[in-house]
């Protein structure tokens, strides 16, 4: 007996839109759905340590029956492996890179017979909507990510951003969560819709930075404030000395001039110590990692004991 086609959702959206947050919210409460998440190559999803059952190779098994796998260099190969797993997942989720075109990913996935036609869900950050839509370097890709969508997940929207979206883009049904699209007969992506759009990742560059541990919080924040305009996105986990008798791992998220530092889980901390930087088109790629003056003065020094 042949298996039913596996429902497939591509989660897209520009850098810093909130894709990882949306996917993690689903993974924390998947409602009994066994999902496999394929993660783009610009960095793995930060999974809560309490969810991780075991990790082997490029796959993380979660306690709720879900799994996260690295796409690596071949999306089609990763999708085939996920679809052929026994037992097969109830849902395939693909987190598109923030500089990728979700419609192109959906077109690629149509080559896997076991998968149902993909539904494209694009996350849009309302706080940066007008800026990105008008930016000469990113506007074409940004608009293509929205226009290729079947549904939109609206993040940080207010009256002004809602009006801007309505006046400048084709109206699309909004959805609050990934679970809203499961089992509802959501309209799938129409093949070929991406054919006239700009190639994904054109002009973007990435760099991995090793960060000294621990680094003074003041040093890290000064470095973040002084970053050149070409740095579009930073993501990673660093060990920070707060200067108040506390050394702790923090999850760093920087997007288009704004940054946030949040407490990292033990599982995230274990994979910490580095930051992935993404540079916008037209920018000179390459920055120095933050350097702690105290670490420079005492080479090889470890964390201070408090």
Query: Taking the CB of residue 196, how many other CB atoms lie within 10 A of it?
Result: 7
Query: Do 177 and 213 reside in the same domain of the chain?
Result: no
Query: Do 41 and 80 reside in the same domain of the chain?
Result: yes
Query: Do 97 and 164 reside in the same domain of the chain?
Result: yes
Q: What is the pLDDT of residue 52?
A: 72
Identify the domain containing residue 160 by its residue range: 8-181
Parallel/antiparallel/unpaired status of strands 274-279 and 231-241: antiparallel
- Please list the rounded mean pLDDT of every run of 10 residues in the chain (306 residues): 80 92 91 90 57 74 86 85 92 91 90 93 95 92 92 94 94 85 65 49 82 91 93 90 86 89 75 85 85 46 28
Longest dimension (CA), the chain: 68
* 214 prior amide bond cis, ω within 30: yes
Query: Do 43 and 175 reside in the same domain of the chain?
Result: yes
Query: Do 109 and 224 reside in the same domain of the chain?
Result: no
Instruction: Identify the domain boundary among 140, 165, 181.
Output: 181
Whole-angstrom Cα distance, residue 78 to residue 22?
22
Cβ–Cβ under 8 Å, residues 9 and 119 = yes
Domain count across the chain: 2
Kindly list the strands in the beta sheet with 91-95, ordered across the sheet, starting from the edge strand earlier in the chain.
52-56, 59-62, 67-70, 35-39, 91-95, 8-12, 119-125, 151-155
Q: What is the pLDDT of residue 198?
A: 47
pTM of the model as a whole? 0.80
Question: Could you tell me if residue 102 is inside a domain?
Answer: yes
Query: Do 128 and 229 reside in the same domain of the chain?
Result: no
Question: Could you tell me if residue 283 is inside a domain?
Answer: yes
Question: Could you tell me if residue 191 is inside a domain?
Answer: no
Cβ–Cβ under 8 Å, residues 118 and 38 = no
Query: Do 214 and 127 reside in the same domain of the chain?
Result: no
Question: Could you tell me if residue 3 is inside a domain?
Answer: no
Query: Do 173 and 72 reside in the same domain of the chain?
Result: yes
Query: Do 105 and 21 reside in the same domain of the chain?
Result: yes
CATH number of domain containing 282: 3.30.1220
Query: Do 170 and 247 reside in the same domain of the chain?
Result: no
Cβ–Cβ under 8 Å, residues 213 and 303 = yes
Q: What is the pLDDT of residue 259?
A: 92
Residues facing residue 69 across a β-bridge: 38, 59
φ/ψ of 301, rounded to 5, equals: -70, 140
Question: Could you tell me if residue 186 is inside a domain?
Answer: no
CATH number of domain containing 17: 3.40.50.300
Q: What is the pLDDT of residue 189?
A: 58
Query: Do 174 and 212 reside in the same domain of the chain?
Result: no
Question: Could you tell me if residue 189 is inside a domain?
Answer: no
**Whose CA is closest to 63, among 82, 47, 50?**
50
Query: Taking the CB of residue 4, how many other CB atoms lie within 10 A of it?
Result: 10
Instruction: Identify the domain boundary among 121, 146, 181.
Output: 181
Q: What is the pLDDT of residue 222?
A: 94
Question: Could you tell me if residue 147 is inside a domain?
Answer: yes
């Amino acid at each position: 007996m042949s298996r039913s086609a596996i429902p497939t959702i591509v989660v897209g959206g520009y850098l810093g839109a909130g894709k990882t947050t949306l996917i993690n919210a689903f993974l924390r409460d998947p409602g009994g759905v066994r999902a496999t998440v394929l993660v783009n190559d610009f960095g793995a999803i930060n999974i809560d340590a309490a969810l991780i059952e075991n990790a082997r190779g490029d796959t993380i098994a979660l306690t709720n029956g879900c799994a996260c796998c690295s796409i690596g260099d071949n999306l089609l190969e990763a999708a085939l492996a996920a679809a052929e797993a026994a037992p097969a997942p109830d849902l395939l989720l693909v987190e598109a890179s923030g500089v990728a075109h979700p419609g192109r990913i959906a077109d690629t996935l149509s080559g896997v017979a076991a998968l149902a036609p993909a539904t494209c869900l694009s996350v849009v950050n309302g706080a940066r909507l007008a800026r990105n839509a008008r930016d000469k370097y990113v506007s074409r890709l940004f608009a293509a990510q929205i226009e290729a969508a079947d549904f939109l997940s609206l993040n940080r929207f207010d009256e002004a951003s809602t009006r801007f979206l309505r006046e400048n883009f084709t109206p699309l049904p909004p959805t609050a969560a990934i679970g809203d699209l499961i089992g509802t007969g959501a309209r799938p992506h129409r093949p070929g819709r991406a054919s006239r759009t700009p190639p994904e990742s054109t002009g973007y560059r990435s760099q991995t930075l090793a960060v000294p541990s621990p680094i003074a919080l003041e040093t890290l924040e000064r470095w973040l404030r002084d970053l050149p305009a070409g740095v579009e996105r930073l993501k990673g986990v660093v060990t920070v000395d707060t200067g108040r008798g506390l050394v702790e791992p923090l999850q760093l998220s920087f997007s288009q001039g704004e940054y946030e530092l949040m407490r990292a889980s033990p599982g995230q901390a274990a994979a910490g110590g580095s930051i992935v930087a993404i540079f916008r088109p037209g920018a000179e790629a390459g920055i120095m990692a933050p350097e702690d003056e105290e670490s420079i003065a005492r080479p090889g020094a470890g964390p201070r004991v408090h």
